[in-house]
Amino acid sequence: MGKAPVGAGRARGARLCAWFLGLALAGSLSAAAPALAASVAGPAYSDIAGNPAATAITFLTTEGVLNGYPGGTFKPTQLITRAEFTKAVVALLGPRAQDAAQALSNITPTFKDAKQIPTWAWGYVNYAQGNGLVQGYPNGTFQPNANITDVEAAAILIRAIGDAATVTGVWPSNYTVAAYNLGLTQGVNFVTNLPASRGDVAQMAYNAALAAPTLQSGYTSGTPTGPPLYMGGDGIQQSAWSGTISAVTSTNVTLMNAQHQVIVNDAPLANSYYLVGGSNVTTLLGAQALVAENTQGQVDFIEVQQGVKQQSGTLANSTVPTPSGLTRVNDWLVQNGTQQSLLLSSGATVPVLSTQSSSSGTTYYVNAPSSGASLDPLSEVPGTASLADGDSVNFVLNSSGQATAVYATAPTIVNGVVTSINTTSNTLTVATGSQDSSSETVAIQPWTQVTLNGAGSDLAALQQNDIVNVEIVGNGNQGDTNAALIAATRQTASGTISALAVQSSAGGTSTQISLTESGGTTVTVTEDPEFDANGANLAVGEPATLILDAQGQARLAEAASPTETVVLVEQLLTTQTTTGTFNQIQANDAGQQVTYTLATGVAQPSQPPATGYLAEITLQPGTTTVTSVVPLTAFTAPGSGYTLKVLSSSASSAVIQEIDPQGQATSTAFYVSVSQGAVAFNGTTYVPFSQLPVGQVVDIWQAPGGQLLGITY
């Protein structure tokens, strides 16, 4: 990646990168947003897919707080001015604040640089100043066209949600600490005095709205009964709430708070609405969700904040004792008053959602008659009449622990390899069968449990070629191929194949594969019964990467990829043996002394200076043989005679400030993010980025393509 132009947002790429920050950008928050699609809409803009702030941007756009640019883009990495952000915060405070700002739009602001404030921003700046949201600078200016910094944006938001009184200490550390404590920095690369991007301020505004206190006045329906999301700082009725979805259809949704009080009552879904964290609104019964309504009382935004849970068990028979304090209805149904619960063979009880707390109650899916009355082996039926002793059941629990759906069928078990993941439709496709000759596509529900190498995970964390064991409820005839559990494993072995041995057994033949990894370690694995060579050449001497299943057996083989790493070249060596002369490089690789051998035909780099230099080397897969050496060059600051000095550092990043020949900091800073291959070196040893001395003058090293791969001093 080449150097970014001045004014670009912060880098979050796969390599250590720097982006120039500091100049005001053209563009406005007032451009029209793209129209929403019918039913569930896709991403609000064409350039936010995969952006950490995509949900925040979508919500704030849906509620009219932020707008995008012509052509359907939002430009999340672009910087935002103080005037633009002030307008956004006033919009976040609701219609009354916007009306008040409109009434003040013809009054010249009192700041000394009022002539520099765009006329479209007068009303917003006047409102924000009059309500203590903005204070300007000690010299009496507002600096409307300057890029707002992270801490300035946080300070305005903290004042907007009414928490400024709790802020103590000296600027800017006081508001930095407060922003962290209130959760405003969650999901944001927060660097106190660096300019904020549009995506970052959207995420901070969203976080601030989540942290906003419940207001006790101005509600048309009385005192609030749950935590509001939309600030409504002028006392308007809240328009977004967080709670449990207690009833939902394809056209309406009901939300309940923790006290089982209805806070959104059977509200109609808008013709166009956004659903984040789910693919079908009808599957969200029992999910903890954020629900927002437009001015017509229609739901236009739903975010699944906490998916419902899924468990399994076996229905009890007559030999299972009745739990204390409960009354037996039949072998597997017990009750306490009006609350009924499923009794499992383990003695555990699972309360079911009753009609008293939901218009629909628990939905039951049971096996259809074997005569084939239904093409679908699961039929939706009311009540529990078709359940039987000893049935294997999967049940879906809401956030209150009540079963909202019971699947009375044993799940189908599928083993295979992930071939595709669709986080938009929430589906996973798994190759199954001998040599991956068939596949299965399953739907991921809010209650689907996903693990990766034994730890809790989610669909977005899975990757192509992960080995998975999937429990499926249903067969898909009626759209009910739901994944109840996905247990994924991801482990590989890379190197050069040193031996292949075919073994015979009563179950057939299998191949033992010996792989010599970098450093000389040999790993021996056995192919599993569904082994798929995937086109890779498994001949002895060939490099390969083996993908292993949970039992450590080879499931896939791929051609191994070369390894790229950054090392400090210390010495060039020439070694003579009975088989010939070899050129070598002695290098410091992440603190380890390593000698690399240059492959035939690879030119030896020029003799390094006494202190060495950084170089990016490419290794043959699983070996210490170098196929290319690219010396890094020192990055030169844009200004002649300028130096680069560490402004701040952490374990994951460093901020480098440009210093002019007079020792004064310029408006250009480098946000440097640590990733694989990036190094910091103090001339003797490798140094963690968190130990870069603040104020230290440094050199930055880059590859010919512009990637910044090292810092030395």
Q: Determine the pLDDT at residue 145.
A: 92
Q: What is the pLDDT of residue 591?
A: 59
> What is the DSSP track for 400-420?
TS-EEEEEESPPEEEEEEEEE
Would you state the pLDDT for residue 294?
79
The pLDDT value recorded for residue 231 is 54
Read off the pLDDT of each residue in 53-76 and give the average, rounded to a whole number.
Answer: 86
Instruction: Report the relative pairing of strands 349-351 and 392-397 from DSSP bridges.
Output: unpaired
From start to end of 169-251, where are the E strands? Answer: 240-248
Q: What percent of the chain has pLDDT over 90?
A: 13
Give the confidence band of 394 by pLDDT, cuts at 50, 70, 90: confident
**pLDDT at residue 155 is higher than 90:** yes
More confident call, 75 vs 237: 75
Helices (H), 2-121: 54-62, 82-92, 95-103
Q: Is the pLDDT of residue 249 over 50?
A: yes
Which residues are within 8 A (CB) of 603 and not within 5 positions of it... i.e. 6 or more apart? Answer: none
Kindly tell me if the per-residue pLDDT of 250 is higher than 60: yes
With a cut of 80, say whether residue 330 has pLDDT above it: yes
N-terminal to C-terminal alpha carbon distance within the chain: 24
For the chain, percent of residues with pLDDT exceeding 70: 74
Helices (H), 505-600: none
Query: How deeply is 643 buried, as exposed, middle or buried, from its count of CB atoms within 10 A (0-12, 13-18, 19+)?
Result: middle
The pLDDT assigned to 46 comes to 85
pLDDT surpassing 50 at residue 22: no
Higher pLDDT, 37 or 657: 657
Give yes or no for residue 34 having a pLDDT over 60. no
Residue 86: its pLDDT value, please?
A: 95
Q: Is the pLDDT of residue 512 over 60?
A: yes
Q: State yes or no: pLDDT of 537 exceeds 60.
A: yes
Residue environment code for 296-328, b if the CB has 16+ CB neighbours within 10 A, otherwise e: eeebbbbbbeebbbbbbbbbbeeebeeeeebeb
Within 8 A by CB and 6+ apart from 707, the residues are: 1, 15, 16, 17
At 150, which helix (H) or strand (E)?
helix 150-160
Higher pLDDT, 139 or 516: 139
Q: What is the pLDDT of residue 572?
A: 82
Residue 29 has pLDDT above 60, yes or no: no
Tell me what the pLDDT averaged over the chain comes to.
75
Residue type, position 547, single letter: I
Q: What's the pLDDT at 225?
A: 44
pLDDT digits (tens, 9 = 90+) for 434-454: 666 688 888 887 778 888 888
Q: Looking at the predicted structure, is the pLDDT value of residue 6 above 50?
A: no
- Beta-sheet pairing, 592-598 with 613-619: unpaired
Look at residue 214 in the predicted model and tell me its pLDDT. 43
C-alpha 408, offset from chain centre: 34
Q: How far, in Å, CA of 702 to CA of 299, rounded?
A: 50
**pLDDT bucket at 289, cuts 50 / 70 / 90:** confident
Structure-model confidence comparison of residues 463 and 687, the more confident one? 463
Model confidence at 703, pLDDT cuts 50, 70, 90, reads low
pLDDT given at position 246: 76
Judged against a pLDDT cut of 80, whether residue 283 lies above it is answered with no
At residue 83, the pLDDT reads 94
Please give the pLDDT value at position 574: 80
pLDDT, tens digit, 9 for 90 and up, residues 348-367 = 999 987 755 555 677 777 76
Q: Would the pLDDT of 666 be above 70?
A: no
Which residue do the tokens 């759906």 mark? 405
By mean pLDDT, which of 336-345, 382-391, 410-419 is the weakest?
382-391
Residue 319: predicted pLDDT: 93
Distances in Å between the alpha carbon of 674 and those of 50, 628, 651, 671? 20, 23, 8, 10
- pLDDT above 80 for 698: yes
Q: Residue 128: which of 87, 95, 165 has the closest Cα?
A: 87
Instruction: Determine the pLDDT at residue 639.
Output: 58
Q: Which of 21-25, 500-504, 552-556 is predicted with the least confidence, judged by mean pLDDT?
A: 21-25
614 has a pLDDT exceeding 80: no
Q: Is the pLDDT of residue 222 over 50?
A: no
Residue 87 is predicted with a pLDDT of 93
Q: Which pLDDT score, from 0 to 100, does residue 238 have?
A: 57
Query: How many H-runs (helices) and E-runs (strands) does the chain carry?
Result: 7, 39
Query: What local confidence, expressed as pLDDT, does residue 113 receive?
Result: 93
Instruction: Using the predicted structure, report yes or no on whether residue 122 has a pLDDT greater than 90.
Output: yes
Q: How many CB atoms lie within 10 A of CB 663?
A: 8
Q: Where residue 67 falls among pLDDT bands split at 50, 70, 90?
A: confident
Q: In the predicted model, what is the mean pLDDT of residues 586-614?
A: 71
What mean pLDDT is predicted for residues 182-211? 86
Is a pLDDT exceeding 70 seen at residue 709? no
Strands (E), 674-712: 679-681, 697-702, 708-712
What are the residues whose beta carbons fall under 8 Å from the beta carbon of 45, sequence distance 6 or more? 33, 34, 57, 61, 68, 72, 73, 74
Confidence bin at 706 (pLDDT 50/70/90): low
pLDDT for the residue numbered 117: 95
Q: Residue type for 155, please?
A: A
Q: Is pLDDT at 301 greater than 70 in this prediction?
A: yes
Q: How confident is the model at residue 114 (pLDDT cuts 50, 70, 90)?
A: very high
Which tokens go with 237? 């009725």
Residue with tokens 């922003």: 179
The Cα 422–Cα 431 span in angstroms is 15
Q: Who wins on pLDDT, 230 or 384?
A: 384
Band of pLDDT at residue 43, cut at 50, 70 and 90: low
* pLDDT category of residue 711 using cuts at 50, 70 and 90: confident
| Amino acid identity, position 97 | A
Q: Spell out the domains of the chain, with CATH numbers in brackets.
A: 20-211 (no CATH), 310-408 (no CATH), 412-489 (2.40.50.320), 491-558 (2.40.50), 563-631 (2.40.50), 634-712 (no CATH)
User: Is residue 620 a contact partner of residue 602, using CB atoms and an 8 Å limit?
Assistant: no
